[in-house]
Structure 1
Amino acid sequence: MRSLFWRGMLAFLAVILVAVGMVAVLAGRATEAEFRRHTFAHSGMLTPQVEALAAYYAEHGSWEGADTLLLPPHGGHGRGRHGHGGGSPWMTLLLVDAEGRVVVDPKGRVGEVISPAELEGSVPIEVDGEIVGYLLPPAGMWDDVPLEPLQVEFLSRVRTVLWVAALAAMGAALLVGGMLFRSITAPLRRLTAASQAIAAGDLSARAPVRGRDEVAQLAEAFNRMAESLARAEEARRSQTADIAHELRTPLTVIQGTLEAMVDGVYPANRENLLAALAQVRTLVRLVEDLRILALADAGQLRLHRAPVDLRPLLQEVVEAHRPQAQERGIALNLEAPPALPLVLADRDRLAQVMGNLLSNALRYVPEGGHVTVRVEDRGREVAVAVADNGPGVVEEDLDRIFDRFWRGDPARRRATGGSGLGLAIARHIVEAHGGHIWAEPTPGGGLTVVFTLPTAEIAGEHKH
């Protein structure tokens, strides 16, 4: 009974049995009661009373004083359940006039109007072909009316038909319920099969989506999750391959240099040792970049926020990169207004972002080119743009330049000296400050990387 289908069907069957059984029992009892009442009303058992009341009305022209016929003398008591067995046979009958108003009632309901439903079990009283009143036996009086064998057989057949109809209804309900539960459990089984395939390592498995109900929405959410897992797995594999590639080159250079010095091919002099040391520093930089990204991914990148004036910070970073720009004849300029609103930020991390952006621009701009840093006050935020006139990036790759180890020209991976992690680190740091970063083409050719930071006032409001 572990199947959801059979558990649902069992619950559905229990509900059907209770509902259909109650309906069959109640319908059988109601049918028998109505049949007995109809039999009693047409059995002629009240004929003497009806004739006496008709004669009374014909003589007096009204029902005034008719209570002397139906009510027992003061203090009189009848015997038997309904006045039978020696008591007055009139004492429990109800007399109603032609308008349905109670004329005589042992229980004191005189003057009330009887509903049409109550009048259905009455016996009409006629005078000269005109109905002048109704005689109603009390409820349940017909329960003791003896039935003839044919009437008993008729009631038995009615009960049989009711139970057969109940069983047929139960079968039809089970059939419909089974189809309904099957339509619910079938997509769940397909979803289970897809999840088991993904658990076994097949990240291409997807659950079919049919309709727009809750189960279909669940399948769509599952497929989106599976696609995210597939992308994450692909990114993990690519990153592993990229890391291996980035580590292999400097390690190979270090190994070759040291082996050459050991074999006496290279002298163990300062020049060769500095070459090996440069590769070690490349490895250290790569490992540090990977550490920063790992901290950012885990949400543990610590920021020491404080109000920062961007203009002097940018001037320091630009001046630090100016010698590198001058070596290749690249014009490096800073365009910033004299006064800027403060930003609430980690100064060292912002310097790292600007260093990565400038290093990336200077790395790809050809000799004689130019790189410009522009700062703009946008009210609630400050925007910083690093624009160059280098080869640029095709539009479809603009979103990818912030991916780890992505380069526009794979053939220049090592020649440019970058690890391919600078822009990815910049994105994580900017977003950790509540800002945004994106890339766009530079008018006239080249690439512009823009990032925004909320002002200290706005950042303080968000922090609180």
Structure 2
Amino acid sequence: MNIRLQGKLFLAFALATASVILAVAWFTFLNFDRGFREYLNNAAVERTEPIRNALVEHYRVQGSWQDLKDNPRMMRRIIFQTLSLERQKHFQEKAGRIDAERLNKNQEKHRRKIFERHFREARFLRIYDERGDLLMSSSKWPVTDGAKNDEIRVPLKLDGQTIGSFAIRKAKLQRNRPDYEFRRKQLQKIWGVVVFALLVSALLAWLLARHLISPIRALAEGSKALGEGDYSRRVDVRGNDELASLSRDFNQLALTLEKNEQSRQQWIADISHELRTPLAVLRGEIEAVLDGVRKFNADNVQSLHAEVLALSRLVDDLYQLALSDAGALDYRFARENARELLEMSTDAFELRFKKAGLRLRADGLDSLDSYIRADRKRFAQLMHNLLENSLRYTDAGGEALLSAEVLEKELRVTLQDSSPSVSPEDMPKIFERLYRVDQSRSREHGGSGLGLSLCQNIVEAHGGRIEASSSALGGLQITLYLPVYEH
């Protein structure tokens, strides 16, 4: 049986509330029934008070129950006379007079009728002496096993001393009697309220399930749209609960996917553009040779070779960046001396800087005595790209300064060069792939626009971070932060 989520929520809420309502209703029913029976029992005990008083008075006069044991009919006579007198008093008090003399033996039959009609409790009486022995039991209420569980005993006391006990049967409801009808009507009202509460709770459960499922349904539809490639889909965020948090996360995911799709499309377009330029140059020069416009000599072959090298560098950079993005670059980390790694890089570029009319300086390396966890090959690749960047784009007569120092638990390596610099608008974008500053950092210098992106990936793989800012020398400043080796 396939039940949708809204149906499951509705059933869960409805069953939970129905269980509570029915439990409360059952408790109310039991409590009412117990209380109503206690009320009937207490009322019956109260109505037999004249009989108990008459029995106590008889004991006061006689001094024992012996005469009643010898003559059980005398006990019945006392009970009947007492009940008849109480009933007659009830009617005659309304007329303002009491005539006790009417009570005689000739009226015993009439007294029984009054007794049976108005004092039905007297049909189920038991009287015990001070030792608990039975003195009398009504003929309609014979003594059987477990009889004591069906009776209510009231002690008979004379001057604070118990002289016996008086028992009546516990109340039993009978059809067509006022107490039974009262109980039945009250229970009907209780169950009517229960049914109404169940209907209201079912309605509220349905509304609540519908309210809760609304954002979930929106998220499901949005997820389906994302799966179909519609990354512009967003869902409404309502409230501050977990579903609202999930909706915000969904919107953030959709925004990220949308940006990634745009970046992917731009990436493909940029790669196509970058490959098209050297290929177009190669094609043009080869066609010129084939058409006889240019001669096939060493100079023209050298030009073709330069274009092939540029294209090869671009493909190599793309391959390295792809490996880095996929986490497939091979890293073999070890405890390395930071000063030795930096000095190896500066030594490798010192002659090239001189040939280009630039000066490469190092500051603070002699006093640097720190170790880092690094891959020697990848770290050399990182510094090679940074120094190559400065070598290509720094104006003739300029300089580059490499410095390093330890700040708390980080090694800060700073590479600065002289003009030209990068505008504040372009500074946040220089780590983007295939990004070039048009004016000074152009394709004419032989760069592919991928070096700094690869540097960023290598630094992050070493657990560090890389930042770009304007240099005090007038050019660009690249700062590396790498964790110091502590073990």
* Preserved CA contact (<8 Å) 1:94 1:104: no
TM-score of the aligned structures, taking structure 2 as reference length: 0.75
Within 5 Å, give how 1:62-81 maps onto structure 2.
Answer: 69=129, 72-73=132-133
Structure 1 residue 58, shift from structure 2 partner = 8.1
Within 5 Å, give how 1:50-61 maps onto structure 2.
Answer: 50-52=52-54, 55=57
SS at match of 1:333: strand
Structure 1 residue 363, shift from structure 2 partner = 2.3
- The one-letter amino acid paired with 2:417 is D
Partner of 1:399: 428
What's the CA shift string for 1:38-62, capped at 9, x where partnerless? 23432466446532576489889xx
* Preserved CA contact (<8 Å) 1:94 1:102: no
SS at match of 2:419: coil
* Preserved CA contact (<8 Å) 1:94 1:105: no
Number of aligned residues: 416
Partner of 1:150: 178
Larger Cα-atom Rg: 2
Change (3 A) 1:250 1:94: same
Partner of 1:454: 483
- The one-letter amino acid paired with 1:201 is G
TM-score of the aligned structures, taking structure 1 as reference length: 0.78
Partner of 2:141: 84
Structure 1 residue 319, shift from structure 2 partner = 4.0
Pairing 1:205–2:233 present: yes
Moved more, 384-393 or 405-414: 405-414
Percent of pairs with identical residues: 32
Partners of 1:215 and 1:49 lie apart in 2 by: 73
Structure 1 residue 425, shift from structure 2 partner = 0.9
Change (3 A) 1:8 1:263: same
Pairing 1:434–2:436 present: no
What's the CA shift string for 1:204-247, capped at 9, x where partnerless? 11111111111101111111111221222122112111111111
Change (3 A) 1:15 1:374: closer
Partner of 1:9: 10
Partners of 1:411 and 1:220 lie apart in 2 by: 42
Structure 1 residue 313, shift from structure 2 partner = 3.9
Say which structure is richer in helix: 2
* Preserved CA contact (<8 Å) 1:373 1:386: yes
Structure 1 residue 36, shift from structure 2 partner = 3.4
Partners of 2:192 and 2:312 lie apart in 1 by: 86
Moved more, 259-268 or 18-27: 18-27
Partner of 2:442: 413
Partner of 1:344: 373
Partner of 1:176: 204
SS at match of 2:415: strand
Partner of 1:271: 299
- The one-letter amino acid paired with 2:15 is A
Within 5 Å, give how 1:87-102 maps onto structure 2.
Answer: 92-95=151-154
Change (3 A) 1:443 1:93: same
- Name stretches of at least 5 consecutive residues in structure 1 with no aligned partner: 61-66, 107-134
Structure 1 residue 396, shift from structure 2 partner = 4.8
Partner of 2:259: 231
Change (3 A) 1:217 1:6: same
Partner of 1:164: 192
Change (3 A) 1:146 1:314: closer
Pairing 1:27–2:55 present: no
- Name stretches of at least 5 consecutive residues in structure 2 with no aligned partner: 63-126
